Amino acid sequence: MNDRVKAVDESMFNQEVLNSDKPVLVDFWAAWCGPCRMVSPVIDQLADEYSDKIKVVKVNVDENPSLASHYDIMSIPSVFLFKDGKKVDGLIGVRPKQLYESMINKHI
């Protein structure tokens, strides 16, 4: 994980995501998840390329089961975009970088 991507847990989620003044890209993942490892470099690139427009965080679903449950995470990776405290968009599974960019660009 690069230094522009912050690991967030249940205690920090409201402050870092829901109360953020910027849109927040949230990667719900787990250490054992192969597809999550495939998406991780793309998430890092997006964090670098959009650092002035969005915040990027990761939530480990094994360590934060109540967040996973609250957002109905059934498959990982699940990458959601939050804006003004609400989930406004999302992609599930391994997707091309262009789809993540398109999702971000639609909301910034």
| pLDDT tens digits along 58-71 | 999 999 999 999 99
Q: pLDDT at position 1, please?
A: 66
99 belongs to the catalytic site:
no
Which one, of 66, 73, 97, lies nearest residue 87 by Cα?
73
**Would you state the structure tokens that stand for residue 10, as one six-digit string?**
């249940």
Q: Is the pLDDT of residue 96 over 80?
A: yes
- Whether 76 and 29 have beta carbons less than 8 Å apart is answered as yes
Cα separation, 77 vs 71, whole angstroms? 13
Rg (CA), the chain: 12
Catalytic residue among 17, 26, 33, 39: 33
- Catalytic choice (24, 26, 36, 79): 36
Section 39-68 average pLDDT: 97
Q: How confident is the model at residue 85 (pLDDT cuts 50, 70, 90)?
A: very high
Active-site residue 46, yes or no? no
In the prediction, which pLDDT does 2 show? 77
Q: What CATH number has the domain spanning 5-107? A: 3.40.30.10
Amino acid 3: pLDDT: 85
The model carries a pTM of 0.96
